[in-house]
Structure 1
Amino acid sequence: MAKVTLRDPQGWYYTAGALAYICVMYALGWWSVFQDNIALNSLGVIALAHSMVIASYLLHDCGHNAVFVNAEHNTKLGYFLNAIAGSNYGRYEDIRYKHMRHHVDNCDPVSFDYRTFLRAHPLLERIVFALEWAYIPAVEFMMHGMLILAPWVFPSKAAQKARVLRVVLVRGALLIGVGILSFKALLLYALSQILLLTVLRFMDCYQHNYEVVFNLDDKDAKFPHRGDAQFEQANTYTNLISHRWPILNALVLNFCYHNAHHEKPILGWHRLPALYREMGESPAQTLTFWDQCRCFHKHRLGRIYAEEYGNDEVQQSVQQGRAVGVNALSFLTAF
């Protein structure tokens, strides 16, 4: 077995700290949601949700082999983080493949067009619109549900039937056990999942002005901007939580330094702020947090059927409240 070597040995404490945080907050969150105390229950939901957020973004770093030098070690850690995030109905390898396509082809490739599916099922469409109006990320839940059905729907995933059934049985048994012990705890875990998916979709929503293409399974597909670094940076946006207090950006493991990430994808999350400063902190590629919040709220229903970002300049459209964005682009739903 290859020696375990960190990609950035000098920053080992950042990796160790993130992993410790995930484990402690996840365990603390589960303990708290079982308590007969509203304050502890509330803290438990936040702890669960945020541990899953950090797990998701550290998984993203694993996909870039940014945690360890050896791909096998990144993969093993990725398996664990995928389970913590609750998305291991889909394989880590597929998550990595989809995300690498995003970086190499400079587009957002997917296999499942949920919009066509919704239009064909009017009752489900009405339910999704009602839930999205109420800030419940129904589209994201539908995409995660499709992770379970994918082996029976997509020929490229057919070999994963046995694996998906095992995951469903294990996770299903655990969740049923939670529900038997405390139905309230099960509902609070569902609430933490809502928060997780909301954070992930918010961060994805305006980070790019890429084309959404429905050919993830076509390995021979041609893309006009494949490998075009200039196009990549011009259509990528940094969406910091805070400029004044950069420490707050670590709440999403610095995923918001997105231009820096696309400049050096193999760079660990803790090095991105410094690279962002080295790159000149381009105002033209930087979005403000509250403007994004306004757009995210205003267009939460229009975004359900949005298939493209449009040709409007992103920074200006976000500032003026016109930016709609696109749903269902999470790297966790790899199909």
Structure 2
Amino acid sequence: MTKIIKLFRHNDALMPNVLAWSYVLFTYIFGFMAILANDLWINAIGVIFLAHSMVIAAYFIHECAHESVFKQSRHNQILGEILLWITGNSYSDYKALKKKHVRHHMDRADIVSFDFREKLSEYPKTLKLLQTLEWFYIPALEIMMHALVIVLPFIKSNRKHLRSRVALVLALRITMFTLLASISLKVLVLYPIAYMIFLTVMRFMDVHQHTYDLYETLDQERGEEVKKYDGAFEIANTYSNLISERFAWLNLFVLNFSYHNVHHDQQMQPWYALPKLHDKLYKGNETRVLTFSKLLKSYHTYRVARIINADEPYTNVHHGKDFIGVDGVSFLTAH
């Protein structure tokens, strides 16, 4: 047991992580079993469980990227790669995801390889389709961003090393869903619904956590353009979007990812330590916390406008009409 504990970066990490991993594994397996069942009410439960297993798995990928789970990078990478399969993002390269997210923290900006906002303006029919789907709460833009992970290796020369990985994963997933469909065709409808719920939760947590500038510099070294952003800028443009401040346990539904200010302050602190750190550093600081009800209203009101929006730094976020939020900055899509 002592040897196992020593693998973790933090001495108290074994129990909370094992419990969380057990939850992910149970809900993932049960979720698939439930969506294959005959009864619709069991199907509905399965969709929710399956979606939530992917949410927690995704936030553990985020933990791995910060190396806050294990001491050694290779152990974090192994866990991250496994979890990419659970989240349906196994087409992605873990190292690329980690690089993108680390740059987000280093540069204090949203770093991408291309800005789809400018590109979409050149394709008005595509933009209109996305806007229509988003109006119906279908996370079309996120689906497009995840689809690009599959497509870009066959378009961009600097991604061609991922072609064999994408082809293999596609073959394996098509085989898996073909087998599942032979048991019940419901899986071809219910799994996409679970996946869209997963994407919606992930995006809801992303869109209001920063008012950062965006740069198309992911495929190059860190440039002079971001060196003007210091720690004071980071604090002033980072927000904690807590599900509940009074009932802290509710934030476990997103593995405490909502405690975003303390995460940026102390990036290698584990997920289970963030609530106490938040209380110590930010409790009562209303300028850094966004209320859940306001975020729901903003997410609803600007679900279409957000597609091509990017809020300016230092936006007065406590006036909901001014804070639209930003789409397409998920740490799960390295482009």
Structure 2 length-normalised TM: 0.95
Would you say 1:331 and 2:327 are equivalent positions? no
- Asked if the contact 2:35/2:43 (under 8 Å) is kept, the reply is yes
**Residue type at the aligned position of 1:11:** A
Would you say 1:93 and 2:92 are equivalent positions? no
- Asked if the contact 2:315/2:322 (under 8 Å) is kept, the reply is no
Would you say 1:105 and 2:129 are equivalent positions? no
Question: CA separation in 2, counterparts of 1:23 and 1:227?
Answer: 40
> Residue in 2 aligned with 1:26?
28
Q: CA deviation at 1:169?
A: 1.0
Question: CA separation in 1, counterparts of 2:55 and 2:94?
Answer: 16
Name whichever of 167-176 and 236-245 sits farther off. Answer: 167-176
SS in 1 for 2:322: coil
Q: Find the partner of 1:292 among 284, 291, 295.
A: 295
- Asked if the contact 1:49/1:196 (under 8 Å) is kept, the reply is yes
Q: CA deviation at 1:154?
A: 2.3
The share of aligned pairs that are identical, in percent, is 37
Q: Which consecutive unaligned segments of at least 5 residues does structure 2 have?
A: none
Question: CA separation in 2, counterparts of 1:208 and 1:330?
Answer: 12
Name whichever of 224-233 and 126-135 sits farther off. Answer: 224-233
Question: CA separation in 2, counterparts of 1:55 and 1:314?
Answer: 33
> Residue in 1 aligned with 2:219?
217
Over aligned residues, Cα RMSD in angstroms?
A: 1.6
Structure 1 length-normalised TM: 0.95
Q: CA deviation at 1:124?
A: 2.4
Number of residue-to-residue matches in the alignment: 331
> Residue in 2 aligned with 1:15?
17
Question: CA separation in 2, counterparts of 1:92 and 1:255?
Answer: 19
Cα 1:99/1:290, change in 2 over 3 Å = same
Q: Which 4+ runs in 1 deviate beyond 4 A?
A: none
Aligned positions of 1:1-335 closer than 5 A:
5-225=7-227, 228-281=230-283, 282-306=285-309, 308-311=310-313, 313-318=315-320, 321-335=321-335
Name whichever of 232-241 and 106-115 sits farther off. Answer: 106-115
Q: CA deviation at 1:75?
A: 0.3
**Residue type at the aligned position of 2:325:** G
Q: CA deviation at 1:231?
A: 1.3
Q: CA deviation at 1:226?
A: 6.2
Q: CA deviation at 1:117?
A: 3.5
Question: CA separation in 2, counterparts of 1:267 and 1:311?
Answer: 26
Question: CA separation in 2, counterparts of 1:265 and 1:157?
Answer: 28
